[in-house]
Amino acid sequence: MKQIIPLASIFIFCFCKTNAQNIDSTIEKYANDYSQEKTYLHYDKSTYASGETIWYKAYILNGIFPAEDTKTFYVDVSDDKGKLLAHSILPVVYSTAAGQFDIPADYKGNYIHIKAYTKWMLNFDSVFLYNKDIRILSKPTNTSAKNTIISSLQFFPEGGDAVAGVNNKIAFKANDQWGRPVKIKGVVQDSHGTTVDSLRTIHDGMGYFLIFPKTGESFTAKWKDEKGTEHTSALPEIKQSGLSLQVVVAGDKRNFLISATPEIAASLGDIHMIGTMNEHEVFKLTKNISSGNISGVIPVKDLPTGILTITVFDSHWIPLAERITFVNNNEFRFNAEMNVEHWGLNKRAKDEISITVPDSLAATFSVAVTDLNIDADSSDNIISHLLLTGDLKGKVYNPAYYFSNNSDTLSKQLDLVMLTHGWRRFKWEEVTAGKFPKIIYPKDTSYLSLSGKVYGALPSQLREAGSIVLILQQKKQNKIVTEVINPDGTFSDPSIILFDTTNIYYQLAKSKGLSDASVQFMQNRLPPFTNNIAASGFFNSQILDTIGNSRHLQLANEEMQLANLYKAKVLETVTIKGKTKSPLQALDEKYTSGLFSGGDAYQFDLLNDPSAVGSMNIFNYLQGRVAGLQITMSTPPTIQWRGGTPQIYLDEVPADADMISSVNVSDIAYVKVLRPPFFGGAGGGANGAIAIYTRKGNDRPKEPGKGLNNNTVRGYTSMREFYSPNYDAITNNDDKKDVRSTLYWNPQVITTPENNKVTLTFYNNDISHAFRVVIEGMTTDGRLVHLENVME
């Protein structure tokens, strides 16, 4: 007899199979096309005083790998009232960016807020943008209101909901208004006033208890804070149907238990479980829960370090419960070793430290050296932020602690963090429907280069527009370029990257009927936001070092007083230097801009070198003039320096050796050979750079585009070099006291497989007898390191 299958059964089977396929393909597309970026900022120190400079370096990840596509980074600085103080736009090199902010000398607020992000990050939940409140030191005041502690208690049912008829684990977190943990004790009572469990903190204000609620039952917590004040808090409402998900950390495994009442279990039948990490699906299973319970083991030893999200669905792929657990397999670390090559703890003594990595790794580092006795906050670092707090909602107290060892005790304490914090969640109703996030802000996949669009012209006129003549008036040089106008009115030149402020004069072809057209420049530049966060102190660890703060403030005040005292002498010195400026200094000031100016470089003045005219080309001229620079006069010429090929620039635009060899030496005014690493241009500079500048006419008018239409545009924010005095070379500054609290800051330390050891030199001030050295870094494959050493 032929079996008849009901049409409804066929529909349900097809629906479930289709949804399963949808989930797999949608998660894969999320991982490939919508993977989220996150960032961490390393600062030269943890607190500052008014008038000091905040130096920082940003590290940017896309999932667990460096964010190689993003080329522009944004940092917004706001005061304690939410007023924007600075909107910095920084180029991204090797998935990092560096910058600085000068705190106004008259700033009176207790904090300054830093918000940092990429344009791509703005498409997703804003809670995952980087936010930090930096403490601004001031004289302590006796305000009792500031010392008032307001304790609060939050409850978090494991899996998302407390469900009647099954055993439930309820985690809790007690903290004050600053997010600091609070110790509490109390009891949990049912609706009849019967005590069902005690309430005791296990670690940093967190703990858990167990309840077995009946249908219609409610629970209340009665507790006392550290001052003995009594509180009463209602537990979350008990869900009358559903299931519970419990996960237990067991070394390199996760034991799970899914429980449901017999009635619910029978109605559910098959359930599905999916594990995801960084938008990637890492496991999926389907089991029948008709018996009421499902238990199993999830092996995690082969997973990357990070947050594993476990989600349980019914047979129709409706989510029922979700839990996160942290996996730490320690593969994220790489070995970097710091050694002291030369000790100098005396006044203005020379110090040398080296960083060595395995010779197979390429890595970028930031290095901060400060007075040991000023305050320091080691509660968060590159590892704890990028692997833990950068993926969580809510404030985690002292997150670096959870990476201090691999003990079972610490793993259980970290699991309390997982139970009591929100996380990056899929919107499963959209995933099952095959929907994707709406992208408003595309990635900055190219640098902030010259671009624009012509408005006020007909499509037929734009098709015949031809080109636009632009005069770029910058601080140290002017440039005339001609750009082709596309049929849609746009034009661009990726080779021209703009720094600071540029006045752009433009001229369109009047013969093409474009005399009334206008031009807008750099429309891909992200403007500052108006809704900035007030610096309240919430995004600060609130870990205080009273003695260290006092020492830091004393040094900062003394440094400011000395700066004011020597201001007249400094101005006088600058004036004298201006009068006795060397030809090389004058050339550097006239021709270079951004990070091409100043710096550690060999310099050549071809205007005043009679031997230059006898050279066939600039490479022939440079032969034998730069130590270690090997030039082979082939076609095209080949250049090697310190094991690599330096990037070549013509008027600060990347060029190749073949093109440069055809430039007449008599047209060249100035050449700089910049030691590696160099981050001033778009071509890369891990192996240094050769910057060649062609002559400028001395009869150029001060207003090159007078009478032409013009716009003022801002490019990348100017990046300064941290001033670190070289007391081996300075002889005329012995009368000025040196009380710097930051002795050395370098955000551009690079190691390569060919050069796996770098040596850094700095000099002591007049008063420090011991130093704190903090080194953070990231490899090209996303592994991380945090080193903290004391020199004393």
Q: Which residues is 471 bridged to in the sheet?
A: 480, 505
Mean pLDDT of the chain: 87
State the pLDDT at residue 143. Answer: 47
| Strands 490-497 vs 601-605: parallel, antiparallel or unpaired | unpaired
More confident residue, 3 or 75: 75
More confident residue, 730 or 75: 75
DSSP state of 403: G
Asked if 160 and 176 touch (Cβ cutoff 8 Å), the reply is no
Residue 4: pLDDT band with limits 50, 70, 90 = very low
State the pLDDT at residue 440. Answer: 93
Average pLDDT over residues 681-706: 67
- Structure tokens of 735? 């009368």
Task: Determine the Cα–Cα distance for residues 325 and 515; give it in Å rounded to an integer.
Answer: 64
The percentage of the chain sitting over the pLDDT mark of 70, rounded to a whole number, equals: 91
Residue 306: pLDDT band with limits 50, 70, 90 = very high
> What does the pLDDT look like over 154-208, one tens digit per residue?
999 999 999 999 999 999 999 998 889 999 999 999 999 999 999 999 999 999 9
Average pLDDT over residues 278-296: 93
Residue 223 CA, distance from chain mean position: 40
Residue 574: pLDDT band with limits 50, 70, 90 = very low
Residue 322: pLDDT band with limits 50, 70, 90 = very high
State the pLDDT at residue 385. Answer: 97
Tell which residue, 112, 99, 113, has the closest CA to residue 55: 99
State the pLDDT at residue 454. Answer: 92
DSSP state of 506: E
The DSSP secondary structure of 286-300, one letter per residue, reads EEE-TTSEEEEEEE-
Which residue reads 């389907």 in tokens? 286
Which residues are CB-neighbours of 481 under 8 A, at least 6 positions away? 450, 469, 470, 472, 493, 496
Asked if 336 and 355 touch (Cβ cutoff 8 Å), the reply is yes
Average the pLDDT over each of 36-40, 286-290, 364-368, 624-628 and give the range with the smallest value. 624-628
- Structure tokens of 58? 């940003």
The DSSP secondary structure of 329-361, one letter per residue, reads -STTB---EEEEEE---STT-EEEEEEE--TT-
Residue 629: enclosing H or E segment and its boundaries? Answer: strand 629-632
State the pLDDT at residue 221. Answer: 96
Best-predicted range by mean pLDDT (147-151, 658-662, 716-720, 756-760): 756-760
DSSP state of 122: G
Residue 81: pLDDT band with limits 50, 70, 90 = very high
Q: Is the pLDDT of residue 14 over 60?
A: no
More confident residue, 474 or 632: 632
Task: Determine the Cα–Cα distance for residues 125 and 118; give it in Å rounded to an integer.
Answer: 13
More confident residue, 273 or 561: 273
Average the pLDDT over each of 17-26, 306-315, 441-450 and give the range with the smallest value. 17-26
Q: Which residues is 472 bridged to in the sheet?
A: 479, 504
DSSP state of 181: B
Average the pLDDT over each of 502-506, 696-700, 706-710 and give the range with the smallest value. 696-700
Tell which residue, 21, 11, 19, has the closest CA to residue 316: 19
State the pLDDT at residue 698. Answer: 63
Residue 516: pLDDT band with limits 50, 70, 90 = confident
| Strands 152-157 vs 130-137: parallel, antiparallel or unpaired | unpaired
Residue 13: pLDDT band with limits 50, 70, 90 = very low
Which residues are CB-neighbours of 350 under 8 A, at least 6 positions away? 342, 344, 727, 728, 761, 763
For residue 384, report the phi and psi dihedrals to the nearest 5 degrees.
-65, -30
State the pLDDT at residue 510. Answer: 66
State the pLDDT at residue 336. Answer: 95
What is the crossing angle of helices 546-565 and 567-579, to 10°?
50
Average pLDDT over residues 748-769: 94
Residue 544: pLDDT band with limits 50, 70, 90 = confident
Integer distance in angstroms from the first to the last C-alpha of the chain?
Answer: 91
pTM of this structure? 0.81
Task: Determine the Cα–Cα distance for residues 501 and 506; give it in Å rounded to an integer.
Answer: 16
Asked if 313 and 341 touch (Cβ cutoff 8 Å), the reply is no
State the pLDDT at residue 676. Answer: 82
3-state secondary structure string, 438-453? CCCCCCCCCCCEEEEE
Average pLDDT over residues 316-333: 95
